[in-house]
Amino acid sequence: MGGNRTQILIVEDEKHMREILKMLLEGEGYSVFTAEDGGRGRDLLEKEIFDLVITDIKMPDLDGYGILKKALQVSPETPVIMITAFGTVENAIEAMKLGAYDYIHKPFKIDEIRLIIKKALEKKDLARQVTLLKERAITGLEHIVTANPSMREILKNLSRIAQSRANVLITGESGTGKDLVANAIHNLSDRKDQNFVAINCATLPEGLLESELFGYMRGAFTGAAQNKQGLFEIADKGTLFLDEMAEMPFQLQSKLLRVIETGSFRRLGGTTDLTVEVRIVSATNKDLKEAVSNGLFREDLFYRLNAIPVHVPPLRERREDIPLLIDHFLKRRDSRKRFSKKATELLINYPWKGNIRELENVVDRMLLFSDAEIIRDSEIPQEITAGLLPKPGPAAEIGQGIELEPYLEDIEKSYLIKALDRTGGKKIEAARLLGLSFRSFRHRLAKYGIK
């Protein structure tokens, strides 16, 4: 997306129709571009990135098929919805075979088109999630910083582990680098030119997780508008990374076990067995063995996944890595700043429950709030020195009493502005600096009317 608003392109030669759609969609908060003929639609497709394209089929110069073809070529993940005149459904079906997402008839019902658009955009988000994860898969060993003997041992074994076809289960506390290890295993293997597909079992509801993994056939359930490949197919001959394995619903565990045992499965609503050869790397920060003894996780599946166990130790058990990691993060931010010896010592002694991710956030935040070349121990946040929860700056003197709400809001506001300043207005980065989700960051900006 160009900005952070969802962008939709409407290609429609009938003025009236074009304007109704534009009004409707702008009313829903989307940013809408319009083209009154195919040629202009094609030009826009080349210039902008759209989240959704809606195109009439019948147009004088370049018709809807031409727009569809162009869209598939410049941005294959952008869903395209075709508009057809009543009584020409065949055209629409033809377009769907060519890769259109769905179609609507003229005249249409407002609610119908709203729903189709909403679904199309949701689908696009899922698709994007998967490619992002694929694009991210460029880590080799060189990105894993460590001087710790047991970590070194793991890294040394990783190349050999990568060469084997056996499934790997990576365990370790949150933020210890399990994702990095999973990436490295793929990139060190002879599967590296095939897909690395990652999915987080904790973030999708059960039904969606199932349809993402196994795919579906058109009509398998409401909303299954076309056939769709599952991640197992996409990961064929490559690696499937199942993150947060402990969250895999029990019923899906059985299905997963079956695929591992037989190497084949069916898409939801499908009638033919598909055969795949996939290496499964899974990760968890929970104790899966305990989940097994509590009856929450299938024992047979556990053994299948855990053919090769890799345990990533927490940061507090490899404190020698802390100064190296600090350096690494400073370099990655292109920062000339350094931490004083005393400041580094404080960081070395902190328990780091959030492990490397937490360290990374603290370093980033200190870069943000310190103007000195050398960051001194006095600047280390109190939460670190006290080993306590985050506190926003020095507490005000209570004296005769203070108004806590506006006081906290002032602090919050100043941090939001500082973060935006420091990142040159890049909201995603600013949110990260403050340890906030993008949503919550955006919400706070709106609350204080910060532009």
Ligand X SMILES: Nc1ncnc2c1ncn2[C@@H]1O[C@H](COP(=O)(O)OP(=O)(O)OP(=O)(O)O)[C@@H](O)[C@H]1O
Residues in touch with Mg ion (CB under 5 A): 178-179
Q: Return the residue of 119, 134, 328, 427 that touches ligand X, per CB under 6 A.
A: 328
Among 357, 413, 418, 427, binds ligand X (CB under 6 A): 357
CA atoms within a 13 Å half-sphere pointing along the CA-CB vector of 130:
19
- Nearest-10 crossing angle of helices 110-135, 206-214: 60
Retrieve residue 143's tokens: 């990105």
Which region, judged by CB under 6 A, interacts with ligand X, from 94-102, 356-364, 380-388, 423-431?
Answer: 356-364
Residue 38, both tokens:
């195919």
139 versus 253: smaller Cβ distance to ligand X: 139
Nearer to ligand X among residue 141 and residue 296 (C-beta) = 141
Q: How far is the CB of 129 from Mg ion (least distance, A)?
A: 14
Q: Name the residue nearer to Mg ion (CB basis): 70 or 178.
A: 178
169 binds ligand X (CB under 6 A): no
Structure tokens at 148: 């710790």
Partner from Mg ion, ligand X, none binding residue 7, C-beta < 5-8 Å depending on class: none
Residue type present at position 287: D
360 counts as binding ligand X under rule CB under 6 A: yes
Q: Measured from the CB atom, is 233 or 321 closer to ligand X?
A: 321
Name the minimum Å distance from CB 6 to ligand X: 28
Which residue, judged by CB position, is nearest to ligand X in the bound state? 177
Token reading at 282: 């899974």
Between 56 and 212, CB nearer to Mg ion: 212
Shortest distance in whole angstroms from residue 144 CB to ligand X: 4
Q: From the list ligand X, Mg ion, none, pick the one residue 346 interacts with, judged by a Cβ distance below 5 to 8 Å according to partner type.
A: none
Q: Which is nearer to ligand X, 81 or 431 (CB)?
A: 431
Cis peptide bond upstream of 79, omega within 30: no
List the beta strands (DSSP E) in 117-265.
Answer: 168-171, 196-200, 239-243, 264-265
**Residues 133-152, interacting with ligand X (CB under 6 A):** 144-146
What kind and span of H or E run contains 81?
Answer: strand 80-85
Residues 174 to 213: which contact ligand X by CB under 6 A? 174-180
Dihedral of alpha carbons 447, 22, 31, 85, sign:
positive
DSSP, res 419: H
Q: Is 55 exposed, middle or buried (0-12, 13-18, 19+ CB in 10 A)?
A: buried
Residue 382 binds what, of ligand X, Mg ion, none (CB under 5 to 8 Å, by partner type)? none
CB atoms within 10 A of CB 406: 9
Report the residue from 79, 172, 215, 313 that binds ligand X according to the rule CB under 6 A: 172
Q: Could you tell me the smallest distance in angstroms from the CB atom of residue 388 to ligand X?
A: 22
The single residue listed with the structure tokens 């597909």 is 197
Q: Least distance in Å: CB of 345 to ligand X?
A: 20
Counting contacts by CB under 6 A, is residue 84 touching ligand X? no
Give how many residues touch ligand X by CB under 6 A: 17
Least separation in angstroms between CB 284 and Mg ion: 9
Is the Cβ–Cβ distance between 41 and 87 less than 8 Å? no
Report the partner that residue 172 touches, choosing among Mg ion, ligand X, none (CB closer than 5 to 8 A by kind).
ligand X
The least CB distance from residue 109 to ligand X, in Å, is 44
Residue 233 or 360 with smaller CB distance to ligand X: 360
Scanning 191-199, 228-236, 253-261, 353-361 for contacts with ligand X by CB under 6 A, the matching segment is 353-361
Q: By three-state DSSP, how is residue 383 classified?
A: helix
Distance in Å, CB of 51 to ligand X, minimum:
27
In the three-class reduction of DSSP (H, G, I as helix; E, B as strand; rest coil), residue 334 is classed as: coil
Burial environment of residue 415 by CB neighbours within 10 A (0 to 12, 13 to 18, 19 or more): buried
Closer to ligand X by CB, 78 or 139: give it. 139
Specify the residue, 214 or 297, whose C-beta has the smaller distance to ligand X: 297
- Minimal distance, residue 355 CB to ligand X, in Å: 7
116 binds, among ligand X, Mg ion, none (CB under 5 to 8 A by kind): none
Contact positions with ligand X (CB under 6 A) in 245-304: 285
Q: Dihedral of the CA atoms 425, 429, 431, 436 (nearest 10)?
A: 180
Q: Retrieve residue 248's tokens.
A: 């895999």
Of 143 and 255, the one with the shorter C-beta distance to ligand X is 143
> Could you tell me which of 76, 15, 89 has the C-alpha nearest to residue 50?
76
Cβ 184 to ligand X shortest distance, Å: 10
Q: Is 261 exposed, middle or buried (0-12, 13-18, 19+ CB in 10 A)?
A: exposed
DSSP string, 194-236: S-EEEEETTTS-HHHHHHHHH-B-TTSSTT--S-B--HHHHTT
Strands 264-265 and 274-275: antiparallel
Binding interface with ligand X (CB under 6 A): 144-146, 172, 174-180, 285, 325, 328, 356-357, 360
